[in-house]
Amino acid sequence: RITGPVTLAPGHTLTLGETVVRVFEPTGSAAGGVGRGTTIAPLDAGRRTSIDQVAEMVSADAWQPQRDAGTLTILFSDIESSTERVSRVGDAAWFELLELHNHVFREELARAGGREIKSQGDGFMLTFPSVRRALSFATAVQRRLTEHSAADPEREIRVRMGLHTGEVITDASGDLFGRHVNKAARIANLAAGGQILTSGTVREIASGDHDVEFAAGTEVSLKGLDGTHVVHEVVWS
């Protein structure tokens, strides 16, 4: 049993339950990598996360498809080890941390021009009209929370994020559905605290943005989705 983060070098393969991880050989920053592998923390396959809960809220709602919502960048997030944190710090302190977390998210969301679709506990589902806006939001949130944690280590907040871009369907209430929504949630569940993971689609769209740096692509299988999928980590620190 693996109990800590695992770093895979290019060309290596690792199987973790239903997840198979293989790292591509780096091909240079212009072609989709910066010459180092992505570290993906192992997850307890039986543990339901806030990301799962938010995704299930969307998929379980009764709905009648109204129209295509077009192509959006979808972001799922939650706080790493939130259940353990509540037990350790107590309800009152956790509530204060959650309020801070939500304030930072919603302030940066407004600044980036994104939209809050769902929230559940410490988990969010957000959408953005462009990859650039989504990445700007994600990196801004991670930097702000890192600054907070450095100033007050006892109140550290480490957030996991996953992003994917694709066409989605909306219902009359504004909820979003489709395989691209599911893919974003699956990618987020691979992330460790402080990580921003993206699909290969997001990486490709952002390839001309020199303000964003990505680690080398990692090939994974995602539960409920056919085939293998390339995931990239955003290097934001």
DSSP-derived secondary structure for 125-143: EEEESSHHHHHHHHHHHHH
pLDDT, average across residues 181-185:
95
Task: Please report, for the domain that includes residue 34, its CATH number.
Answer: 3.30.70.1230
Does residue 148 lie in a domain region?
yes
Q: Is residue 194 part of a domain?
A: yes
pLDDT tens by residue, 190-203 = 999 999 999 999 99
Number of domains the chain is built from: 1
Q: Is residue 190 part of a domain?
A: yes
Predicted local distance difference test score (pLDDT) of residue 180: 95
pTM for the structure as a whole: 0.74
For residue 89, the number of C-alpha atoms closer than 13 Å in the C-beta half-sphere is: 19
Look up tokens 């995704």; give the residue: 55
Share of the chain above pLDDT 90, in %: 54
Q: Is the pLDDT of residue 43 over 80?
A: no
Percentage of residues in the chain having pLDDT higher than 70: 71
Give the ranges where 40-81 is alpha helix by DSSP (H): 50-60
**pLDDT in the model for residue 6:** 56
Distance CA 120, CA 98 (A): 11
Confidence category of residue 14, pLDDT binned at 50, 70, 90: low
pLDDT class of 237 with cuts at 50, 70, 90: confident
Given pLDDT bands bounded at 50, 70 and 90, which one contains residue 48? Answer: low
- Tell whether 1 is covered by a domain: no
* Mean predicted confidence (pLDDT) in 62-73: 68
- Answer yes or no: is 43 within a domain: yes
Instruction: Return left, alpha or beta for 132; rule: phi > 0 is left, psi -120 to 50 is alpha, else beta.
Output: alpha
Domain of residue 103: give its range: 6-235
User: For residues 137 and 122, which has the higher predicted lDDT (pLDDT)?
Assistant: 137
- 7: confidence class by pLDDT, cuts 50, 70, 90: low
At residue 35, what is the residue type? G
Of 45-59, 98-112, 122-136, 161-175, minimum mean pLDDT range: 45-59
Residue 25 counted as domain residue: yes
**With bands split at pLDDT 50, 70 and 90, how would you rate the model's confidence at 27?**
very low
